[in-house]
């Protein structure tokens, strides 16, 4: 646990008592603060009460003598409208923060100054690939015998990790919800993977969404920035981070050839290439790596490679670790091969851009898609559907979703069991049955993990 510093003897309100909220309450108590806990659900309040925390509704019970309100990332604090408790804090002039802000505020205190090699923090943000990039960085470091902890939007809550030991690296996956509100953001290395429309209702549009990601760099002032430059926003951000073309505090990452006197890592036709000062420093063939299929995973590999090079690892050490990376559940996860048909679970493809990248990674696709459609429309899918033999549409609004697929052959299935059964019945050897929903899961499931688990269960049932 990372005890929260700076609130000794003071009252701090904690709003939202899921995984990160309870960890925050414990860390506040460990640092000498009094945590006042609230959740709109009975189960969350019961969990906090069972651990001896005081229940305190910020609206009903007020915010008198409260030093700060700490909110969980899923709770709206601006758009489409602030939660009533956060609105009350704004009205009372009580600072609002989240666990990420408390983490950076507290991490460098205690025995930090006594480390021979100070621990470092790598923070990864972007629209797609954050989890795979973060997990891959941690895997490479583990394989290189570098102590590492993985936390944030993946794995453990940031305040729930152990105090870092000498030379350790803390790898954080950070969502836009987390970067937008944190009052302290000071990573040693910051990573921006890419940007595509997502969570637009929570950020008031695309500009607000990008601004939330950009805060990690603008507020944090990282020692080194690793920026994907395939989109205009990444190019802008990269430009903001340098004093000149040769500034190697920036590592640019792209899916095509990059040129210049700085530090670049590119992926092209399955090959990763590193260039420094115009000269090639390394080249790695990513095509045989089973845990990193497709161009989108090659970009994730390039970002992870850049981080590990910035941390001082040799190219061959990184290449060896790539080969043993198994990938993450629900992200281009090969579930089974039955009768020559591959079954792939990419339930994490919750937006159109992620689904496009999944479709680009496979051939002869029987595509299971649908769910709670997000802003931005489905038109980008049309150009990526060249290898789609047929779409099998699930979700409560499956008929409306299918109408947006244009000329892609489709069948309304409604639920996962029907979709897997129909795709399996029509698949031929060499086909891939791919779950890449291009939509959120909340119309039928609690999470994308639950949706992916249902797909896996239906595939396993095919095997008897």
Phi-psi region of 52 (alpha: psi -120 to 50; beta: other; left: phi over 0): left
Chain centroid, CA 455 distance in Å = 21
Q: What does the alpha-carbon distance between residue 19 and residue 459 come to, in Å, rounded to a whole number?
A: 30
359: phi then psi, degrees, rounded to nearest 5 = -65, -35
Kindly tell me the burial class for residue 20, based on how many C-beta atoms sit within 10 Å of its own C-beta (0-12, 13-18, 19 or more). buried
Which residues belong to the annotated binding site for ATP? 126-132
Q: What is the pLDDT of residues 189-229, one digit of tens each?
A: 999 999 988 888 889 999 999 999 999 999 878 999 999 99
Q: Give yes or no for a contact between 209 and 200, defined as CB atoms under 8 angstroms apart.
A: yes
Which residues belong to the annotated binding site? 126-132
Q: Beta-carbon neighbour count of residue 313 at 10 Å?
A: 18
3-state secondary structure 47-77: HHHHCCCEECCCCCCCCCCEEEEEECCCCCC
Domain 11-97 class? alpha beta
pTM for the model: 0.87
- Domain locations in the chain as residue ranges: 11-97, 102-323, 333-462
Tell me: domain 333-462, CATH 3.90.190.20, correct? Answer: yes
143: phi then psi, degrees, rounded to nearest 5 = -65, -25
Strands 11-15 and 66-71, how do they pair?
Answer: parallel
How many C-alpha atoms does 379 have within 13 Å on its Cβ side? 4
Q: Give yes or no for a contact between 186 and 119, defined as CB atoms under 8 angstroms apart.
A: no
Strands 250-254 and 279-285, how do they pair?
Answer: unpaired
How many C-alpha atoms does 203 have within 13 Å on its Cβ side? 23
Tens-level pLDDT at each residue, the chain (464 residues) = 999 999 999 999 999 998 899 999 999 999 999 999 999 999 999 999 999 999 999 999 999 999 999 999 989 999 999 999 999 999 999 999 999 999 999 987 656 667 888 899 999 999 989 999 999 999 999 999 999 999 998 878 999 999 999 999 999 999 999 999 999 999 999 999 999 888 888 899 999 999 999 999 998 789 999 999 999 999 999 999 999 989 999 999 999 888 789 999 999 999 999 999 989 999 999 999 988 988 899 999 999 999 999 999 999 999 999 999 988 889 889 999 999 999 999 999 998 988 998 998 899 999 999 999 877 678 878 877 889 999 999 999 999 999 999 889 999 999 999 999 999 999 999 999 999 999 999 999 999 999 999 999 999 999 87
What's the CATH number for 102-323?
Answer: 3.40.1190.10
């Amino acid at each position: 646990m990372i005890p929260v510093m700076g609130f000794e003897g003071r009252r701090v309100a904690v709003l939202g008592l899921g995984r990160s909220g309870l960890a925050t309450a414990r860390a506040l108590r460990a640092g000498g603060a009094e945590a006042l806990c609230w959740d709109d659900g009975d189960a969350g309040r019961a969990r906090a009460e069972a651990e001896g925390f005081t229940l305190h509704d910020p609206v009903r019970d007020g915010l008198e003598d409260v030093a700060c309100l700490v909110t969980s990332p899923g709770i709206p604090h601006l758009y489409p409208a602030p939660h009533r408790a956060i609105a009350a804090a704004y009205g009372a002039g009580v600072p609002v923060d989240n666990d990420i802000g408390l983490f950076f505020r507290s991490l460098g205190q205690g025995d930090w100054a006594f480390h021979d090699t100070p621990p470092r923090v790598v923070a990864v943000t972007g629209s797609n690939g954050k989890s795979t990039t973060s997990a891959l960085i941690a895997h490479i470091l583990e394989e290189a015998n570098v102590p590492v902890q993985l936390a944030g939007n993946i794995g453990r809550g940031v305040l729930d990790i152990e105090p870092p030991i000498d030379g350790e690296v803390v790898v954080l996956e950070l969502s836009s919800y987390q970067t937008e509100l944190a009052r302290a953001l000071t990573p040693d290395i910051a990573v921006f993977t890419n940007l595509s429309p997502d969570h637009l209702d929570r950020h008031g549009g695309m500009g607000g969404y990008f601004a939330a990601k950009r805060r990690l760099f603008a507020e944090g002032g990282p020692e080194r920035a690793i920026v994907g430059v395939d989109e205009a926003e990444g190019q802008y951000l990269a430009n903001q981070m340098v004093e000149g073309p040769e500034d190697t505090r920036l590592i640019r990452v792209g899916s095509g050839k990059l040129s210049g006197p700085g530090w670049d890592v590119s992926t092209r036709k399955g090959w990763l290439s590193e260039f420094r000062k115009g000269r090639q420093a390394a080249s790695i063939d990513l095509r045989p790596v089973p845990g990193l299929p497709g161009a989108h995973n090659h970009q994730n590999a390039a970002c992870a490679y850049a981080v590990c090079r910035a941390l001082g690892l040799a190219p061959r050490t990184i290449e060896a670790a790539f080969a043993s990376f198994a990938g993450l559940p629900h992200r281009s996860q090969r579930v089974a091969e039955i009768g020559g048909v591959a079954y792939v679970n990419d339930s994490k493809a919750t937006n159109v851009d992620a689904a496009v990248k999944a479709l680009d990674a496979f051939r002869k696709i029987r595509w299971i898609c649908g769910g709670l459609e997000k802003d931005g429309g489905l038109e980008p899918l049309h150009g990526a559907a060249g290898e789609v033999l047929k779409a099998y549409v699930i979700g409560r609004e499956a008929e409306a979703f299918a109408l947006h697929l244009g000329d892609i052959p489709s069948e309304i299935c409604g639920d996962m069991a029907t979709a897997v059964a129909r795709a399996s019945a029509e698949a031929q050897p060499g086909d891939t049955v791919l779950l890449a929903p291009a939509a959120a899961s909340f119309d039928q499931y609690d999470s994308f993990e639950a949706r992916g688990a249902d797909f896996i269960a239906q595939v396993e049932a095919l095997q008897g």
